[in-house]
């Protein structure tokens, strides 16, 4: 009998079959069946209850981390200002005027403040608009 087949057998059968190595394979199989019938019920390997409770704890911990990450992402999304509708409409309407956006007008205002006034959404750093703070750009 091959060693791979012996590894799948219960230990008590391996010992009995090793003791009678001089008989044919057919007789060894019959002997193994008889010994198995007389040896009683087979045991079943089970996971200890401590291991299953550890898995439940780990799953709960992972769910809590996922919920925390989801709320963090939601908070980050809420803190990022949305695009103003005026800039997207303007971009679609006039492509040729984009060269004037990068340079400030003669009054020191950016193209957006020059065009939209207080409703400007994409102000440039060089803009001198009154009350223009870095957070409002």
Name the nearest CA neighbour of 118 among 86, 89, 88, 95: 86
Confidence tier at 37 by pLDDT (50, 70, 90): confident
Name the nearest CA neighbour of 129 among 115, 116, 113: 113
pTM of this prediction?
0.30
The DSSP code for 112 is H
Highest mean pLDDT among 43-47, 52-56, 101-105: 52-56
Confidence tier at 90 by pLDDT (50, 70, 90): low
pLDDT at residue 66 is higher than 90: yes
Average pLDDT over residues 88-108: 55
Confidence tier at 137 by pLDDT (50, 70, 90): very low
Q: Is 16 exposed, middle or buried (0-12, 13-18, 19+ CB in 10 A)?
A: middle
Instruction: Give pLDDT, residue 19.
Output: 86
Higher pLDDT among residues 22 and 102, named by residue: 22
HSE-CB at 111 with a 13 A cutoff on CA atoms is 12
Residue ranges of domains in the chain? 3-38, 100-137
Q: How far does CA 81 lie from the centroid of its chain?
A: 26
């Amino acid at each position: 009998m091959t060693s791979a087949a012996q590894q799948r057998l219960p230990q008590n059968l391996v010992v009995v079959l090793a003791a009678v190595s001089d008989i044919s394979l057919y007789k060894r199989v019959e002997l193994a069946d008889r010994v198995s019938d007389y040896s009683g019920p087979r045991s079943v390997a089970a996971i200890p209850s401590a291991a299953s409770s550890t898995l439940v704890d780990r799953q709960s911990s992972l769910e809590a981390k996922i919920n925390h990450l989801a709320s963090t992402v939601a908070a980050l999304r809420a803190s990022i200002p949305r695009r103003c509708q005026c800039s997207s409409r303007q971009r679609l309407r006039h492509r040729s005027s984009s060269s004037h956006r990068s340079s400030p007008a003669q009054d020191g205002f950016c193209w957006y403040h020059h065009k939209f006034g207080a409703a400007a959404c994409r102000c440039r750093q060089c803009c001198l608009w009154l009350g223009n703070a870095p957070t409002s750009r």
